[in-house]
Amino acid sequence: DAKTTQPTSMDCAEGRAANLPCNHSTISGNEYVYWYRQIHSQGPQYIIHGLKNNETNEMASLIITEDRKSSTLILPHATLRDTAVYYCIVRHSWGAQKLVFGQGTRLTINP
Amino acid sequence: AAGVIQSPRHLIKEKRETATLKCYPIPRHDTVYWYQQGPGQDPQFLISFYEKMQSDKGSIPDRFSAQQFSDYHSELNMSSLELGDSALYFCASSLGSNSNQPQHFGDGTRLSIL
């Protein structure tokens, strides 16, 4: 699986958009980009995933660059409850593939 | 919506004892994954099952074993427990073996070894 690089920590003001970057320059054509978050020792929570196209759901938007070497997770209106560690994970498209968690980005939403 | 159920939520054991952790996947999910998260660490993959067969194996100690039953629930059996086994153990489930299906996690079992 391709390796991902994320900033160790980020801050964002409540109500503003939080933009979390992820670099996955060695991603291959059949690997998905997944985003999870973990709020203090709770189980990781699935946010969104994509292959090539930008994706949006009720939680967030995922913007994948055209060369697929990086992506950005966008939380449009961050709240205090969005404070968590956010993991960007690249996952092969075939088989029941495990998730390989890196260090993630510790996002703090400030009032 | 129904989520992944793990039991027990907390478990305290002593060294050299055994423990069994249980995981009940989301209804109709046929794939189960186990992860271990030590204090201050990121979750690490242990083992997974698809349709009751082991599908992948990670850094799972030989002292641990797991299986998936006909109703798709899974159990992680841990023997000769060591202090270093103290961790959060998460189970996740997904539908099918296609990686376009996300894994959904339970709330975990916190195992403490005294």
Question: Between residues A41 and B83, which one has the greater pLDDT?
Answer: B83
What is the predicted pLDDT for the residue at B100? 82
What is the predicted pLDDT for the residue at A2? 64
Q: Which of B6, B99, B100 to mutate to test the interface with A (most CBs of A within 10 A)?
A: B99
pLDDT band at A92 (very low <50, low <70, confident <90, very high): confident
* Chain B residues close to A51, C-beta within 8 Å: 100
pLDDT (tens digit per residue) in B54-101:
999 998 999 999 999 999 999 999 999 999 999 999 999 999 767 688
Token pair in block for residue B90: 């998460």
What is the predicted pLDDT for the residue at A89? 95
pLDDT band at A97 (very low <50, low <70, confident <90, very high): confident
pLDDT (tens digit per residue) in A56-77:
999 999 999 999 999 999 999 9
What is the predicted pLDDT for the residue at B60? 95
* Inter-chain touch A93–B58, beta carbons under 8 Å: no
Q: What is the mean pLDDT of residues A38-61?
A: 95
* Chain A residues close to B107, C-beta within 8 Å: 42-43
Per DSSP, chain A holds a count of helices (H) and strands (E) of 0, 9
* Inter-chain touch B108–A97, beta carbons under 8 Å: no
What is the predicted pLDDT for the residue at B35? 98
| SS3 label, residue A37 | strand
| SS3 label, residue A80 | helix
Strands B10-13 and B109-113: parallel
Rounded Cα distance, A72 and A66, in Å? 12
Q: What is the least distance, in Å, from the CA of B53 to any CA of chain A? A: 11
Rounded Cα distance, A32 and A79, in Å? 27
Question: Between residues B11 and A91, which one has the greater pLDDT?
Answer: B11
Length of chain A: 111
Count of CB atoms situated within 10 Å of the CB of B12: 13
Q: What is the least distance, in Å, from the CA of B112 to any CA of chain A? A: 14
Q: Compare CB distances from A42 to B33, B42, B107 and report the shortest one's residue.
A: B107
What is the predicted pLDDT for the residue at B101? 87
Q: Provide the mean pLDDT of chain B.
A: 95
Q: Provide the mean pLDDT of chain A.
A: 93
Per DSSP, chain B holds a count of helices (H) and strands (E) of 0, 11
Count of CB atoms situated within 10 Å of the CB of A13: 11
> What 8-state DSSP symbol labels residue A5?
B
pLDDT band at A15 (very low <50, low <70, confident <90, very high): very high
Q: Which of A36, A88, A97, A101 to mutate to test the interface with B (most CBs of B within 10 A)?
A: A97
| SS3 label, residue A82 | helix
Is the pLDDT at A96 greater than 80? The verdict is: no
Rounded Cα distance, A56 and B68, in Å? 34
* Chain A residues close to B66, C-beta within 8 Å: none
* Inter-chain touch A44–B105, beta carbons under 8 Å: yes
* Chain B residues close to A34, C-beta within 8 Å: 102
Is the pLDDT at A95 greater than 70? The verdict is: no
Is the pLDDT at B103 greater than 80? The verdict is: yes
What is the predicted pLDDT for the residue at A1? 59
* Inter-chain touch B56–A99, beta carbons under 8 Å: no
pLDDT band at B1 (very low <50, low <70, confident <90, very high): confident
* Inter-chain touch A46–B106, beta carbons under 8 Å: no
